[in-house]
Structure 1
Amino acid sequence: MKKIILLTLLVLATTISQAQNDIDALLAAGVDDAAKFANDYLAPGTNGLMHSMNSNWFNTADAKPLGGFEISVVVNAASVKDENKVFNLNTDDYNNVQFVQGPSSQMVSSVLGENNPAIFVEVEYEDAIFGSQTEQIELPQGIGSENISLIPTAFIQGALGLSKGIELKARFVPKIDADDVSLSMYGAGVQFEVTKWLPADKLLPVAISGLVAYTHLDGSYDLTDSSGIQGENQRVENATNTWLFQLIASTKLPIINFYGGLGYIKGKSESDLLGTYRVTNGVLTSEDIVDPFSVSSEASSVRGTIGTKLKLGFFRLNAEYHLSEFNAFSVGINFGFR
């Protein structure tokens, strides 16, 4: 579990930690330029995270009866496509950034990719004593440089059946602190089976349900020891909120069942670079920049789901696959009574 938590936070923290020696130059070149780069660089990672954290909200369309419950341990992973590993950086849209080599518009690594070979840019800043100065920096790599091509999430989930085909769900990850990162997540949902409202419900071979679910994630990365810049209370904080609207259909067999559905994910992820950064302009001068910028990304995507579930008494095992902007797969170990 700790490795999954650290990998999840990696997509939140890499935008700063991979470039820790270059934050000084980026901020000196201008907060607007640094914020624009961070926003484009981080967006594919946070969008992929939103797809990963919305997997395995259900493993059947057959709602549990009154008092029926299920406890699950779920592991998800969104896969990274080649198109998510890069973004177009056009220096014409920046105030003080230019490529060292090549045209003004180039594809560079996002938080999910890598620059191979390395790509360098030149940033310009104004020194109070020496006037206009330039500094060459290497653009940051993404998690692709570590041979990571998945965005994982994991959590504990519970489901409780009420009357009239209504089932309440909740999932959570208690706050976990590991080294300089911390993470917590919670979510709630309601599933309602429409076939339970039909007179011939028990005779039907399939069940049909609808689901609405909300998930919230908080992440934090402490930069105090790694930014390479003098200052206080330096950190990256992330808040991600998502909604899932899902139509589900499944078989109603005793042991092995199959399920699928069509859904819609909508969410927003906001990341804040906080703290005080004492940025040097040349050798003799410096300035304090407090809470430099906030960046955000939004996800809005239709997805299709197919899965299967094995039921052996109290023990259940399910696996599913999602087709969407970020394809994802998930496995759940479930214990329940109905």
Structure 2
Amino acid sequence: MIYNVKIRFIIALQVLAFPAALSQSLLDQSAFFAGGTADAQKIFQAYAGPWASMYGHSLNNGWVNTAKTHKPFGFDLTITNTVAIAPRSEKTFDIAELGLNQLGKSNGSTTVAQTTVGNNNKKNDRPSLDLLSPYGTYSNVLSMPKGSGFPATILPAIQIGMGLMKETEISIRYSPPINYGRYGTINHWGIAMKHNLRQYLPAARLLPFDISVMAAISQLNNKTDVTNDPQQYLFDPGITFDKTDRSIKMGVTAWNTILSASTSLPFFNIIGSIGYSGIMARMKATGTYPIPSGETDASGNMLLIHRENMVNDPMN
């Protein structure tokens, strides 16, 4: 038996770690959860949302470059590299529009914050937030991080496609976990099925083109350890917690269906397609985190942390 084998290589760039790094820069703020889990989730979604959206689009791209399917057991091996670029509107967000409950803008501070794909600007140009509580106002509890200055995501992967029976093809895409040290790990995978519809058309063998339908689902995972100790928190004696067990887990699930048609000409091919896609992102914070009530010591400089202020798995 003669197998249809095709190997294609596309220049692949290393997965950029800046989304994880910038997420870590936000988590490095000792008072990330100072306003409670609801405020923390609103801020993190606004800050990291463009990252999730762009990676979702990258996961959905690159599945189809021809409507033709492989013959049974024919396959191709591809090193793919997909790129997504953020629009200008996703580079910043307004803190005042988030509806925060326990955090408010510090006096003299701007309300415009950078997202993960925003500008790499100076600290003085970024919002500073106060903690608002029944005990009063604790100033400058959280400074928003800067952006990356790079409004794009680059996502390489190894992809293999193999022909099955009835002009059906399966494709699998995979990138192993890459460890970026204190910035965590990133990995992703995907699977797609493509079926050629030309076989159902009259005189199919005489047609100079193929028509196929494809469905794919992909998953990207990022895990970042959170081992920093809040510097402005004063813990009650006897409070202990395992800092090595804390982590932020972010996941992006993407799915799409594509109807495509491509020519079968000797020297060049033309492909056209139409499809539907979706993206879902989620975040979990596991481990034990201090969430202050706003009570301070006699000097007013340190936020007191009692045992009841220690919260397990605040986002799960």
TM-score, normalised relative to structure 2: 0.79
Q: Secondary structure at the match of 1:64?
A: coil
1:265 aligns with 2:277: yes
Aligned pairs (5 A) from 1:14-163: 14-15=22-23, 17-24=24-31, 26-90=32-96, 93-101=99-107, 106-114=111-119, 116=121, 118-126=125-133, 131-136=135-140, 137-144=142-149, 148-163=150-165
Q: Deviations over 1:144-194 (max 9, x none)?
A: 2xxx12111111111111232211111111233332321222221111111
1:223 aligns with 2:231: no
The answer as to whether partners of 1:12 and 1:238 remain within 8 angstroms in 2 is no
Post-superposition shift, 1:284? Answer: 6.6
1:182 corresponds, among 178, 185, 196, to 185
Q: Secondary structure at the match of 1:293?
A: coil
Runs of 5+ consecutive residues of structure 2 not aligned to the other structure: 1-10, 234-240, 297-301
Report the residue type matching 1:109 in the other structure: Q
Report the residue type matching 1:138 in the other structure: S
Residues of 2 paired with 1:204 and 1:14: CA distance? 52
Residues of 2 paired with 1:120 and 1:65: CA distance? 58
Report the residue type matching 1:120 in the other structure: P
Q: Deviations over 1:248-302 (max 9, x none)?
A: 11121234323231121112111112222245654372132322225xxxxxxxx
Post-superposition shift, 1:83? Answer: 1.0
The answer as to whether partners of 2:50 and 2:86 remain within 8 angstroms in 1 is no
Post-superposition shift, 1:243? Answer: 1.1
Q: Secondary structure at the match of 1:257?
A: coil
- Alignment CA distance shift 1:85-1:259 (3 Å): same
Deviates more, 1:53-62 or 1:132-141: 132-141
Residues of 1 paired with 2:229 and 2:201: CA distance? 61
Q: Percent identity, aligned pairs only? A: 24
- Alignment CA distance shift 1:160-1:21 (3 Å): closer
1:285 aligns with 2:298: no
Runs of 5+ consecutive residues of structure 1 not aligned to the other structure: 295-338
Residues of 2 paired with 1:59 and 1:3: CA distance? 20
The answer as to whether partners of 2:77 and 2:161 remain within 8 angstroms in 1 is yes
Residues of 2 paired with 1:79 and 1:98: CA distance? 31
Residues of 2 paired with 1:263 and 1:133: CA distance? 51
Residues of 2 paired with 1:211 and 1:203: CA distance? 23
Aligned pairs (5 A) from 1:226-241: 232=243, 233-241=245-253
Residues of 1 paired with 2:303 and 2:225: CA distance? 28
In structure 2, the residue matched to 1:328 is: none
Post-superposition shift, 1:132? Answer: 2.1
Post-superposition shift, 1:14? Answer: 2.2
Residues of 2 paired with 1:264 and 1:69: CA distance? 26
Q: Secondary structure at the match of 1:22?
A: coil
- Alignment CA distance shift 1:91-1:160 (3 Å): closer
Q: Deviations over 1:14-63 (max 9, x none)?
A: 23x22244342x42232221221112222121011100111111210011
Residues of 2 paired with 1:52 and 1:227: CA distance? 35
Q: Secondary structure at the match of 2:287?
A: strand
Q: Which has the higher contact order (CA 8 A, sep 6+)?
A: 1
Report the residue type matching 1:248 in the other structure: S
Higher strand share: 1
Residues of 2 paired with 1:197 and 1:134: CA distance? 70
Report the residue type matching 2:126 in the other structure: I
Q: After TM superposition, where is structure 1 displaced by more than 4 Å over at least 4 residues in a row?
A: 101-104, 225-231
Report the residue type matching 1:18 in the other structure: S
Post-superposition shift, 1:88? Answer: 3.0
Residues of 2 paired with 1:216 and 1:260: CA distance? 26
Residues of 2 paired with 1:273 and 1:3: CA distance? 30
Report the RMSD for the aligned CA atoms in angstroms. Answer: 2.9
